[in-house]
Amino acid sequence: MKTIGFIGLGIMGKPMARNLLKAGHKLVVYDIIPAPVKELVEAGAAEGASSADVAGRSEIVITMLPNSPHVKEAVLGPGGVLEGAKSGLILVDMSSIAPLASQQVEKACAAKGVKMLDAPVSGGEPKAIEGTLSIMVGGDKDVFDSVAEVLGAMGKSVVHTGLIGSGNTTKLANQIVVALNIIAMSEALVLASKAGVDPKVVYQAIRGGLAGSTVLDAKAPLVFQRKFNPGFRIELHLKDLLNAMDTAHETGTSLPFTGLATEVLSHMKSAGKGGLDHGGLVQYFEALAGIEVK
């Protein structure tokens, strides 16, 4: 079993860390918020004093943070991973950040003898708890092979996608598909409601056909129950789509419908609803139609 450092114990990171403990790994944890650290320590983890301290006590360090600046601060900043890392440490950044940022952090890591993978995840809080996340991994194949078993304690699907940054490029593609699926679902259910057809019946009728999807099955029941507490927040999905649009501009790629989806998510955040689960995007279309899906 490995000694693993885990930095970032939020909605996703905390259950992911728990699954590493369940798999028998030794864990050193750190977060700027004390409560989840205390929970993990009570479950058997050791407490790290800083990102640097975690790195100095670990063979592998996993970071699970909100966005590119947070990863750069935790890894490159004062008291960061590289400050405490020994040569040969493996850093697995499981945050969803810009591919270019992953490449920049990896370059700094390589200069200090630290090997890095970018390994963002998909599946939200439920699959983080179950340990059945989809994990998309960019970086050296030999390094990937050395940590694949560790990643398997947190995910059902663990796929090596290519060079550093490719994991996050794959995640951006995933987030485009998810956002557009939720928006399509929202428009469809709002149309059914406005036309006087029971949206639950519509859902049952279409879910077994070509319109069926994991997104539809995960989000439609929550819409009917009006449960919008976050498994994955709108504001974080917006962050991902903004990173997708930035990457599109860098590569000369046109993403017109992703641009429209970004505007919908941005409106929801501006309306004070960025903390809702991304299934709450249905509220944007309900407001336009003057009807609520129930």
Residuewise pLDDT in 10s, the chain (294 residues): 889 999 999 999 999 999 999 999 999 999 999 999 999 999 999 999 999 999 999 999 999 999 999 999 999 999 999 999 999 999 999 999 999 999 999 999 999 999 999 999 998 898 999 999 999 999 999 999 999 999 999 999 999 999 999 999 999 999 999 999 999 999 999 999 999 999 999 999 999 999 999 999 999 999 999 999 988 899 999 999 999 999 999 999 999 999 999 999 999 999 999 999 999 999 999 999 999 998
Active-site residue among 14, 115, 127, 171?
A: 171
What pLDDT sits at residue 231?
A: 83
Give me 240's structure tokens. Answer: 């991902």
pLDDT score, position 102 = 97
Cβ atoms of 81 and 32 within 8 Å: the answer is: no
Helices H / strands E in the chain, number of each: 14, 9
Q: Please, what are the domains in the chain? A: 3-163 (3.40.50.720), 169-289 (1.10.1040.10)
Q: What is the DSSP letter of 86?
A: P
Instruction: Give the pLDDT score at 260.
Output: 98
Tell me what pLDDT residue 124 has. Answer: 87
- pLDDT at 98 (0 to 100): 93
For 203, 221, 222, 225, 230, the CA distances from 200, given in Å and listed in that order, are 5, 8, 11, 11, 22
- Is the model's pTM score more than 0.85? yes
CA–CA dist 223, 13 (Å, integer):
25
Orientation of helix 199-206 relative to helix 166-194, angle to 10°: 130
For residue 171, indicate whether it is catalytic: yes
How far is residue 246's CA from residue 100's CA, in Å, rounded to a whole number?
A: 10
To 5 degrees, how large is the angle CA 158–CA 159–CA 161?
150
- Spatial CB neighbours of 6, under 8 Å, sequence gap ≥ 6: 13, 16, 17, 20, 27, 28, 29, 30, 40, 45, 54, 61, 62, 64
User: Tell me, what's the pLDDT at 202?
Assistant: 98
